Chains A and B, each alone.
Chain A
């Protein structure tokens, strides 16, 4: 079963604006990973944030993690048309089987 819930399910913004996507999960985690998927292709790994980290940056990406609220956010700044894709969060639990559990994803559309 899916652990994560992402919101919004779909987001449409103008090029140059910032896009924020949120992910919530239910159990304690070892880490949380964000992925991008273009048009039903393979997943591109964007960033991993560990349970003891609160914020990470990579280029135009900023990820936050709040373990007390069991939530994470992905911020894309100065969006570009090429950022149009589906974005997924996935959690690795800190106990039991070492497997990723994916959220439902956010479909992001950047309008030129």
Chain B
């Protein structure tokens, strides 16, 4: 498995502001993933972050809204920019580990936008 931490665990933010979420892994990984889980819904992949290259965004997600950094092999950040109440969700990072392509998730960041 993998030990993954996220900061903050939760936050309440005002409309129009931005929040940066941090994800730290206990060992080096090639790919890190960012997901969004809207209230009562399943998980949707936002983007895949590889160290040393631009993140790859999924359909419906753009870099201006969700900029991602991947400065090294154990750390990544996701910024939720110019927030609106529709951005209220749990944001989770994950990493792939092991020969079986198992993905392990961080504890999530619960974001509420007022």
Contacts and interface: CB of A to CB of B under 8 A. Distances in A.
A99 B42 contact: no
Contacts of B48: 97, 99
B104 A103 contact: no
Q: Give the size category of B's interface with A.
A: 20 to 34
A40 interface: yes
B101 A98 contact: yes
Interface in B82-114: 90, 92, 94, 96, 100-108, 110
Contacts of A78: none
A53 to B, nearest CB: 10
B66 interface: no
Contacts of B100: 31, 48, 50
A42 B108 contact: yes
Given A42-B106, A99-B48, A30 B42 contact: no
Given A50-B100, A88-B42, A43 B92 contact: yes
A1 to B, nearest CB: 8
A43 B33 CA distance: 13
Interface in B7-44: 31, 33, 37, 41-44
Contacts of A104: 41-42
Tell me if B's interface is mostly helix, strand, loop or mixed: strand
A102 interface: yes
Majority secondary structure of chain A interface residues (helix, strand, loop or mixed): strand
A103 to B, nearest CB: 6
| Most chain A beta-carbon contacts within 10 A, residue among B42, B96, B100 | B42
Given A40-B110, A41-B107, A100 B45 contact: yes
Contact of A105 (B6, B33, B42, B107): B42
A33 B103 contact: yes
Given A42-B108, A99-B48, A100-B103, A88 B43 contact: yes
Contacts of B41: 104
